Structure 1
Amino acid sequence: MLRTPGAVRDAERWTAHNYHPLPVVVSCAEGAWLTDVDGRRYLDCLAGYSALNFGHRHPKLIEAAHAQLDRLTLTSRAFIHDQFADFCKELAELCGKDLVLPMNTGAEAVETGIKVARKWGYQVKGVTPGQANIVVAEGNFHGRTTTIVSFSTDEDARADFGPYTPGFTVVPYGDLDALAAAIDENTVAVLLEPIQGEQGVVVPPEGYLPGVRRVCTEQNVLFIADEIQSGLGRTGATFACEHEGVVPDMYLLGKALGGGIVPVSAVAANADVLGVLKPGQHGSTFGGNPLACAVATEVVRLLATGEFQRRSAELGERLHGGLQALVGKGLVAVRGRGLWAGLDIDPALMTGRQACERLMERGVLAKDTHGSTIRLAPPLVITEEEIDHAVAQLAAILAA
C-alpha cells in the first residue's frame, strides 16, 4: 500500500496553505537524488531554491555538522564562541569585504541590509531624518516580511498585508535610465537581484549592472546586491555580479550558505557601511550560532577552491545547450546563467504547474512560477548524464 497519498492528506490537514507543494513526500536524499516514502527516486532539479548548491548531505558538510553537534550548538550573541571569528573572517575574504554580520534567513539578511542602508544614509550621507528611500526593481523577490512585501509587485505576495512600509521606489528591472531618474537627495541605496530568480531567472541586459554601479557611485548611493539565490556558485561564478565585473557595496547572502543543513544568512560590506551599527541596535538570537558557523565555514572553504563555480559554468553550458534545442518544440524561451534556468513553456501546451507535475511523474522535480514558466536549479554536484536525463524528460513531456 502506497504511503504517499495519506502523507499528503495529513500535511494538507495540519498545515496552513502558504505553499502549494507537488504531491511528493521525501524521506531521504543523497547528492542530486531524493527518495520518497514509497521508495521512488527523483532527480532534484530545484535544490531548495539554491539552498542545496552542494547537494543533499555533502560529506564534508555533514561531517562539520556532526562534529559541532557533539560540542556546542548555541550560545546566543551574548557570548563569543570558537567558530564565530573563523566564519566571519573567511566569508569576508571570499566577498572581498571588511566585515560580515551573520543572520539566519534570507529575508532577515534583506531586512538587515535595509536597516544598515538607512542608518548609513542618516549618519554618513546626511539624509533628512525619516526621509531615506531605497530604489528597487519590478519583479523583485527579496522575502516575505511586511517591509519586504511592501515593495513587491507580485500581488499574491503583497495583497492584504498592508498597511505598507514607506521608503521604497519601484522602477522597471533592467531600465538604467528609470533607475537613475528615481534617485534623489534622500536615496540611500539601490537594492537589486543581479538575476531575478522568482520572476523566472531573468538576466538583465548587458551593461545594466555596471551602469547601476556607476550611477550609485556618482550619486553616493549604496549598491546592495541580493545574491541569496544567485550567489555562492549558482551561476558559474562565486557571485552573479562577477559576470559583469561589478562589486556592490553590500552582499546579501543566504540559502546555500547553510549547506542545506541549517539556515544561515549574512550581510557583507566594508567597515564604512556595516560599521554604522553599534551594540544593541540590531541583533538575532540564533544569528551566527556555533552550528551555523561550523557548517557555513565549510561551505566557504568548498567555494574557495573554485571547483563548484567551474562545475556550474561547464555543466551550465550543457544544460542550456540542451534546453535551447527545445525552443520551438514546446519551449518559447530559455533564460539563465550557469546551472540556473528559467523556461517559458508554450501556454497552449500546459501550465508551469502541469509541466512540473508531469516531470514529477517521470522522476524529475522542478518548480513553476508565474503561469507557464518553470525553474531549473539542480545541485552543483549533478553529472552530465543526469543533466541529459533531465532534459530528455522535459523533451518527452513537451512532445507528449
Structure 2
Amino acid sequence: MEFLNNLFATTGIAMMTVNQGIMILVALFLLFLAIKKQYEPYLLLPIAFGMLLVNLPAPVSEGIMDKDGLLNILYQGVKYGVYPPLIFLAIGASTDFGPLIANPKSLLLGAAAQLGIFGAFVGAVLLGLNGNEAASIGIIGGADGPTAIYLTSKLAPHMLGPIAVAAYSYMALVPVIQPPIIRLFTTKEERQIKMTQLRTVSKREKILFPIVVTIVVTLIIPSAIPLVGMLMFGNLAKESGLVPNLVEHIKGALMYIITIFIGLTVGATTNAEAFLNLATIKIIILGLFAFSFGTAGGVIFGKVMCKLSKGTINPMIGAAGVSAVPMAARVVQKVGQEENPSNFLLMHAMGPNVAGVIGSAVAAGVLLAMFK
C-alpha cells in the first residue's frame, strides 16, 4: 500500500488542484467550440490547447512556460510586440480597400464603431482599474485580437491572458452577438434597404491609398504606426502586383505560423492563478460591453447616415465597423438576406469593416500615447 501511495503521489491526478481542473474544463469547452461549432478554429484551437497545456499538473505545465521552456521562448514575440504587427502585415496583404475607397463615408462608420473602446474604458475606470488596465480592456471593443494583444503587452502585460481570450472569443462569437443588436436598433424597413452598386476603383487609387494613410497616420498618431504601417505595407505589396509570390507567402504561411505562435503562447499564459480571479470576471463583462457598444454605435451612426442620405444607406452596414474582418461584414450580409433574399450588402459592409481595422489600430495608438 505504501508503494501504491507513493506511486499515486507522483501522478498528475494527485498534483492537480481544483482551479486547474476548472481551467482544463474551460480549455475543453473552447476546443469544443473550435472543433464542433467551428467558431474561429484558427484562433480558438491553439489558444485552447495552450490553456490545456499550462493547466496540466506539474511538471508538464512548468516545463513549457519556465525560462527555457518552448512556449516561453515563443512568448517573447508577444511580450515585445512583434507578432501583432506581423499579423497586420498579413491582413494587409489579403485585404481589398476598394470598397472603402469607393465609399469614403465608410470611415465614419468605422470610427463610430470604436465608441465601444472608450465606453468600456470609462466603465473600467469606474470599477477601480487604473488607466493602463482600463485601456487594455477597452480595446477589446474593437474586436481585433492582435490589436488587443499589442496594446495589452505594452500597458498591462499581467492581464494579457484573460484579455486575449476575451478578445478572440468575442471575435469568434460575432455571428451570435451581432444579429440581436442589429435587429434591436433597426426597423424591418431599414434592414430591407438596397444599396446601389459601388463604383469601380482604379489601380492607381488602390496603390496611393496605403501610402497616403501611412503618411497621415505617422504625422498625427506616430504610436499607431507599428500596426498601421505593417497593414499598409502588406496592402501596397498586394496592390502593386509586382511581388505575387511574396504576397502569397505573407497572407498564407506567415499568417498561419504567427497565428499558431500567438494562440499557443497566449493560451499558455492563462494558468489557474492568473485567470480565476475577480479581475478576469471584470474583463469578460467589460469586454462584452465594449464589443456590444461598438456594434450599437456603428448601427446608430448608420441610422443617422441613412436619414441624411434619404434612405439610400442601409444602417446595418454600421455593425461591420468593428474590425472583425470579414466576419462582421458577412453577418450584415446574412441578416440582410434574411430580410430580403435579393439584397447583397457584403461589399458595402466591407467598407466599414476594413475601416474598423484602421480605426482600432489608431485607437490603440491614441491609448498607447496617453498611458505608455
TM-score by length of 1: 0.25
Which one has more relative contact order, counting CA pairs under 8 Å at least 6 apart?
Answer: 2
Name the one with the larger strand percent.
1
